[in-house]
Amino acid sequence: MSTHDEHEIPLPGSPASHAPRQDEPRDGQVLPPKPDQTGPEVRTPTGAPSADPQEAVAQQGDRLTTAQGTRLRETDHSLTAGPRGPVLLQDHHLREKITHFDHERIPERAVHARGAAAHGRFESNGRGSSISRAGFLRPGVVTPVFVRFSTVLGSRGSADTVRDTRGFATKFYTEEGVYDLVGNNIPVFFIQDAIKFPDVIHAGKPHPDREIPQAQSAHDTFWDFVSLHTEAQHHTIWNMSDRGIPRSYRMMQGFGIHTFRMIDDADGTVLVKFHWRPRLGTHGLTWEEAQLLAGKDPDFHRRDLADAIESGAFPQWDLAVQVFPDDEDQMFEGIDLLDPTKIVPEELAPLQVLGTMTLDRNPMNYFAETEQVAFHPGHLVPGVDVTNDPLLQGRLFSYIDTQITRLGGPNFAQLPINRPHAAVNDMLRDGVHQSAVHGGVAPYHPNSLDGGCPFLAGAGEDAFIDIPVPVGESRVQRAAPASFDDHFSQVRLFFRSLTGVEQQHIIDAYAFELGKCYEQAIKERQLQHLADIDETLCAGVAARLGLPAPAASIELPDVEPSPALRMVGGEWPIDGRVVGIVASPDSDEADLVAVRTRLHDAGVLPFVIAPTGGMIGGVPVQRSFDTATSVELDGVIVLAATDDRRALALLDEAFRHGKGIGVEDDAVSIFGSVSFGAEDEGVSTGSAPVLADALLGLLPGHRVWERMASLPA
């Protein structure tokens, strides 16, 4: 054994013990810290930059330390008895590092495991003050928010673009405490009573024997449940529509689903339903796009949200409410407001906008923020309260309960992302992961030892109040009210309100999902429900399954369509849309720069696509033919003729998915090799600037709908 080995523990007085410390500058030996390692930024618990060093939560100083703050010189080699000897148990750094790693994962959420989130702010326009005393709804009040979007069924590593409901959960850090609006992108739910939640989720999750399929509803147990449980038919048809495969989290509506109660300054109450309206419009993928993306970019929605925010295309939503009188029967136009499987059409109760939310900051750390955030529909502030909706009542129990397992104890409200911005003075004490150091000796009420503190809010001070709503003189029972019985007329309302192309997509989705089931009886049972919803719907799906279409078994009234339910139609801002520019090293650089600049100036992200990576003149290539995919693009401009099959496939897909395509005059020879021509709808030819303008004219409509197959009018 060499007595001067570099990794040997030096004895006092031996030459090695005089070696310079690693952090002492030594010529050519110490690398400067990387830019993101120089003095970490000081941030508040929820990640906002702060000038106050007391608010720092992690990573003080720029030298590596143990968890106890002892500086380290070495972290790449375990402590061994000699260069080839065994590792010593005394290596506390090794053991600390590995032990911590062994416990890095926490249980994923039982539902909504896969998600992405962002910070932002909600600015109130003050209109809510007439119906609610909530401080965050007063005129001009700006409240920090954290929003987490999610799928429901898949596990944490599943693909983003699967057909599923999306979670849309918002945490408002108001001055009166945290308010959580824990909603979905679909305004109704599968079930009317929380007691059935484990059933519907067990049915939707992978089969217990082989644990397949992942993150899908296209399997027997799901369709077994929803066909046996007719109240699920309404939510299910929304899932089968393009709402089940959103184009982007930024282009999704959000709904509180349940009816909530608002309380004004004079204790007057109204009932409300919450809606988030995306400024960019509500848009879906096509099913083929969604399937391709699940393989080519399983992180598509997560990436889209982060990229848009990073590039300054901050997504925005208006928060709106439908308002109803708080009558004793809690019905509106024959619709039971306590039934979470029903909507109130916007034509009957228009949306009233209360303010606007802007998401403008990506999380700094996925685990600390997106994974550890804990929402709960019972996180309420003065002025917003719950109703007797039996689904909501069950949720009020579930969320805290699940966090105790998921976040390892009852103190998860102390995690930085969950900490209220309002002052907290509770009497909750101790427990696993207690990180507060509470003063005083009397965490009970009333007390005299701590001078009576904490005191209760006095009359005239704002505080949460329990409104004495009547509960009637009922007897206990296990049954739903008769007003929850109609499971079909709003399903019909949804289908018949949509455009032909949206209806066709619903037929395609049922055909796929039921086509993946093995049990004939399940398909037939579901076809019977489709017959009761709409004859054309049933006939379209039955034909694709190769089964006879049954006749309707119930008589439903005709419905007044609700055009507000349509996604197709209208023009929308195009901020953050992505356009591919197919070019080659032979392309005219001036044309390329002109197209790029024109798109960029319009708020669109231009991606230069070329046979290989590198540069075209001074322009960097973002995607090579190896990495480019049609499904991340909203339109394509071709500046270079090509016969590469990958580029031609990209163009064919873009055409099939209804995307605008522009082909420069020099590149028209591609028409001989693709499935479309210059005369097709939404395909233009001409000079580079003309093509950019033509495409910018198409993007606000989301797709060239004329090209997509539609039900006959």
Which residues are known to be catalytic?
112, 184
Rounded to the nearest 5 degrees, what angle is found at the Cα of 690, between the Cα atoms of 685 and 696?
Answer: 100
* Nearer CB in complex with ligand HDE: 156/445: 156
Told to check if 115 binds ligand HDE by CB under 6 A, we report yes
* Nearer CB in complex with ligand HDE: 189/324: 189
What is the nearest approach in angstroms of ligand HDE to the Cβ of residue 174? 19
Question: For ligand HDE, what does the binding mask look like between residues 219 and 258, x meaning CB under 6 A?
Answer: --------------------------------------x-
Measured between alpha carbons, how far is 347 from 7 in angstroms, rounded to an integer? 76
CB half-sphere exposure, 220, CA atoms < 13 A:
10
What is the nearest approach in angstroms of ligand HDE to the Cβ of residue 374? 6
- Kindly state the tokens that stand for 152: 């429901």
φ/ψ of residue 261, rounded to 5: -115, 140
Helix (H, G, I), strand (E, B) or coil at 451: coil
What is the nearest approach in angstroms of ligand HDE to the Cβ of residue 571? 30
Q: Among residue numbers 254 through 293, which ones bind ligand HDE (CB under 6 A)?
A: 257
Measured between alpha carbons, how far is 628 from 653 in angstroms, rounded to an integer? 12
What is the nearest approach in angstroms of ligand HDE to the Cβ of residue 364? 18
* Nearer CB in complex with ligand HDE: 169/578: 169
Query: Of the listed pieces 245-253, 387-395, 412-420, 656-664, which binds ligand HDE according to CB under 6 A?
Result: 387-395
Query: Contact with ligand HDE (CB under 6 A): which of 162, 252, 391, 538?
Result: 391
Neighbours of 617 (CB within 10 A): 12
Told to check if 111 binds ligand HDE by CB under 6 A, we report yes
* Nearer CB in complex with ligand HDE: 191/501: 191
Which of the 8 DSSP states describes residue 94?
H
Query: Of the listed pieces 104-112, 316-324, 459-467, 668-676, which binds ligand HDE according to CB under 6 A?
Result: 104-112
Task: Tell me whether strands 177-184 and 142-151 are parallel, antiparallel or unpaired.
Answer: unpaired
Q: Among residue numbers 161 through 200, which ones bind ligand HDE (CB under 6 A)?
A: 167, 169, 182-184, 189, 194, 197
What is the nearest approach in angstroms of ligand HDE to the Cβ of residue 406? 6
What is the nearest approach in angstroms of ligand HDE to the Cβ of residue 248? 17
Query: Contact with ligand HDE (CB under 6 A): which of 55, 57, 299, 399?
Result: 399
Query: Contact with ligand HDE (CB under 6 A): which of 47, 112, 244, 291?
Result: 112
Q: Among residue numbers 613 through 672, which ones bind ligand HDE (CB under 6 A)?
A: none
Query: Contact with ligand HDE (CB under 6 A): which of 46, 150, 372, 497?
Result: 150
- Kindly state the tokens that stand for 336: 């039971």
* Nearer CB in complex with ligand HDE: 399/512: 399
Residue with the CB atom nearest ligand HDE in the bound state: 167
Contact between residue 627 and residue 621 where contact means Cβ atoms under 8 Å apart:
no
Contact between residue 621 and residue 615 where contact means Cβ atoms under 8 Å apart:
yes
Measured between alpha carbons, how far is 292 from 287 in angstroms, rounded to an integer? 9
Question: Which residue has tokens 């945290």?
Answer: 178
How many residues belong to the site for ligand HDE (CB under 6 A)? 26
Told to check if 148 binds ligand HDE by CB under 6 A, we report yes
Query: Of the listed pieces 65-73, 107-115, 516-524, 577-585, which binds ligand HDE according to CB under 6 A?
Result: 107-115
* Nearer CB in complex with ligand HDE: 197/276: 197
Told to check if 395 binds ligand HDE by CB under 6 A, we report yes
Distances (CA, A) of 137 to 218, 263, 462, 484, 546: 42, 12, 14, 32, 55
What is the nearest approach in angstroms of ligand HDE to the Cβ of residue 375? 4
- Return the exposure string of 186-224: e unless at least 16 CB atoms fall within 10 Å of the residue's CB, then b: bbbbbbbbbebbeebbebbbbeeeeeebebbbbbbbbbb
* Nearer CB in complex with ligand HDE: 362/684: 362
What is the nearest approach in angstroms of ligand HDE to the Cβ of residue 221? 18
What is the nearest approach in angstroms of ligand HDE to the Cβ of residue 521? 28
Beta strands in 521-604 (DSSP E): 578-582
Query: Of the listed pieces 211-219, 271-279, 353-361, 390-398, which binds ligand HDE according to CB under 6 A?
Result: 390-398
Helix axis angle, 500-515 relative to 520-533, nearest 10°?
Answer: 160
Query: Contact with ligand HDE (CB under 6 A): which of 57, 64, 79, 110?
Result: 110
Measured between alpha carbons, how far is 455 from 460 in angstroms, rounded to an integer? 14
Told to check if 398 binds ligand HDE by CB under 6 A, we report yes
Measured between alpha carbons, how far is 297 from 664 in angstroms, rounded to an integer? 29
Full DSSP string of 483-543: GG---SHHHHHHHHHS-HHHHHHHHHHHHHHHHT---HHHHHHHHHHHHHH-HHHHHHHHH
What sign for the dihedral angle of Cα 111, 117, 120, 123? negative
Q: Among residue numbers 327 through 386, which ones bind ligand HDE (CB under 6 A)?
A: 373-375
φ/ψ of residue 274, rounded to 5: -90, 140
* Nearer CB in complex with ligand HDE: 179/655: 179
Distances (CA, A) of 12 to 20, 23, 72, 520: 15, 21, 19, 81
Interface with ligand HDE (CB under 6 A): 109-112, 115, 148, 150, 167, 169, 182-184, 189, 194, 197, 257, 373-375, 391, 394-395, 398-399, 402-403
